[in-house]
Amino acid sequence: MFILCETVKVSGQYDECNGCEFQTLAVVPPYSNTSIVVNTQYSLHINYTRNNTICKFNKLFYEHYRYKWNLTENCSGIYIEEPADSAYLPILSAFIILFAFGTIWYMVKCIYKCTKNNEIWQRYIIRTTDNDFGSPLDNSTLINERPPSVRKHPHRIKSIDVFRGLCICVMIFVNYGGGGYWFFKHSVWNGLTVADLVFPWFVWIMGLSLTVSLSNKLRRATPRRQILMGILQRALVLVLIGIILNSNENQDHDLTTLRFPGVLQRLGVTYLIVGVIEVTFAKRTVSVNEFGRLAFLEDILIAIPQWIIMLTFALVHILITFLVEVPGCGRGYLGPGGLEDLGHHVNCTGGAAGYIDRLVFGEHMYKKPSCQFLYETKVYYDPEGMLGTLTSCLLMYMGVQAGHILHTYTNVKTRTIRWVVWGLATGLIGCILCGFTKNNGLIPLNKNLWSLSFVLVVGGMAFLIEAYFFVMVDILRKWGGRPLFYPEYAAKRDPSTSPACLLLGKSLWLEPPIPTPQSAHLPVCIAPPHSPIA
C-alpha cells in the first residue's frame, strides 16, 4: 500500500449542516498519521484532494468505534479498526426490562381477576371444605353468581392525565440528558426529535384542560370575571416561576443579562391569551337545534369567533415571517445563519423572529441556541421568543378544540373519529407545508421558530395520541395508564409535585447548592444546572 508522500488536507462537513461549506478536519504531513474525533449523531462527508482528484466518502460513524483510513492514491475506503458495543444496548435493555415487568404484572392481574369469581374455582373451594368437614345433607351446591357489572363511563377523563404524565416523564428524562441519545436532544434547526415534542404537547394539553375546567365553571354559572382572574393568576405564577428558573441559569448573576423569555413564560402568556379569548366568547349553554342541518359541525360552529382570531394569529405570523425586511438578511429567511447557505446569512439566525427578539430583548435572551455548535452562529436566538407566541396560541387552541369535541358529543365513537380526523388533517397540512422534507419545503418543521408546519404536525400527533389513550384507558380499559398516570395522580394529592414544581425543583436541586459571596439570594446561590426545555 502506497502512502502519500505529501501534505494532505482532510475536509469534512456533517449532513445535518444544510448548505455549509466543508471545514478543515486535519492536515496530515507526509508519511505520518493523525486522529480525528467526529460527532456520531450525523453522517459525515469527508474528503481530500490530490492531483485534482477528489477522494470522498459519506459515512455514519458508530459511537466508540475506532476507524482507520489510509490516504493513498487509490482512494482506499474507511474501515473499522476496533469495534465497540452498540450504544443503543442500554436503552434497548431498559425497554425490554420495563416491557417484561409490565407484561408479567398484567398477566398476574388477569389471572387474579379470572380466578376470583370463577365458578370452577368456587366449586374447588366448596369440594375441599366438604372433604374436610363433611358434606351437608343436601348434596346440591348453590353458587351465587354475581351479575356482570355495568361499566359506567367515568366522569373524569383519565386519558388526559395519562397523556400529561407521559409528557412529564419524557420532560424529566430529557432534562437529565436523555441518556446522551441524539433523539432525546433538540433538533439542531429543522426537523423533529422526541425532545421537541414535550413542550408543544404540554401546550396542547393545557388547551384541552382549559376547556374541561371552563365548561364546568360556566355550567355552574361562575361569573366570567372570576374565571378571568383565576386565569390571570395562574399565568402570572407560571411567568414568575420561569423568571426564577432563568435567574438560576444566569451564571454571571447580572440582571442586565437575565433571560426574559422561557418555557414557563411562553406557557403563561399563551394560556392568558387563549384563556381570555375562550372565556370571552364561550357560551354557557347551546340549544339543541341551534345549528339545524349543520349540527354535525357544532363543535366548530360554537367557536367561530375564537377560530377567526386564531387563524388571524397564524396569518400574522406568516406575514411577519416572510414580508418583514431584516437588515442584511432580506425577507423570508428561515435558516440558522452562521455557516448555513455558504455563510451568506451569517448574522441572520431565525430571520424575522430572531431580529424582533434582538430588538426587543437585547441581551436578555437565550445565548446558546441548539444551532450554535454545528452552524457556528454568532448572534443570540431565543426559541421562546415573541413571534412564536402566535403559533403557540394556535396550538393551544387545537387542544381547546379537542375539549369542545369532548363536551359537545357524548358518543364515544363520534369523539374518537373526530379526534382522529383532526389529527390526520392537521398533520397532513403541516407535512404539505414542509413539502414532506426536512429542509426544502415552503415552511420547514422547526421547533426553534415554532413554524406553522411544526405546530400543525405536533398538534395532529397530540390528537391521535389522545384518541388512542381515550380508547385504551377510558373506554376499553385495557390499560390503567400505569405508570404514566402516577405523576398526575401524585400532583392531585400533593400540589408540590405538579409539572411546574417538578421543573422548578429539578432545576434548583440537580446539583448541590454552592454558596457564593456575592449574594445570599436563593436562585443565585444554587449551582446552575443544565438548561430546562428550550
d(CA 360, CA 350): 15
In what helix (H) or strand (E) does residue 222 lie, and over which residues does it extend? Answer: none
Q: Helices H, strands E: what count in the chain?
A: 16, 6
Asked whether the beta carbons of 406 and 212 are under 8 A apart, the reply is yes
Count CB neighbours of 25 within 10 A.
Answer: 19
Instruction: Say which DSSP state 151 is in.
Output: P
Which of 316, 314, 287, 317 is closest to 301 using CA atoms?
Answer: 287
End-to-end CA distance of the chain: 51
Q: How many angstroms from the chain centroid is the CA of residue 339?
A: 27
Asked whether the beta carbons of 385 and 285 are under 8 A apart, the reply is no
407 catalytic? Reply is no
d(CA 261, CA 451): 18
Laid out side by side, the sheet with 8-14 consists of: 23-28, 8-14, 44-50, 53-59
Asked whether the beta carbons of 17 and 43 are under 8 A apart, the reply is no
Q: What is the b/e burial string over 501-523, where b = at least 16 CB atoms within 10 angstroms of the residue's CB? A: ebbbebbbeeeeeeeeeeeeeeb
Asked whether the beta carbons of 387 and 322 are under 8 A apart, the reply is no
d(CA 53, CA 429): 45
> Helices 263-281 and 224-249 sit at what angle, rounded to 10 degrees?
170
> Residue 44 phi/psi, 5° resolution?
-120, 125
Residue listed under C-alpha cell 434547526: 189
β 79-82/8-14 pair status: unpaired
The dihedral formed by the CA atoms of 451, 455, 461 and 466, expressed in degrees to the nearest 10:
160
Q: Which of 45, 64, 155, 186 is catalytic?
A: 186
d(CA 80, CA 63): 12
Residue listed under C-alpha cell 482528484: 53
d(CA 241, CA 247): 10
> Residue 79 phi/psi, 5° resolution?
-135, 160
SS3 11: strand
Which residues are annotated as catalytic? 186
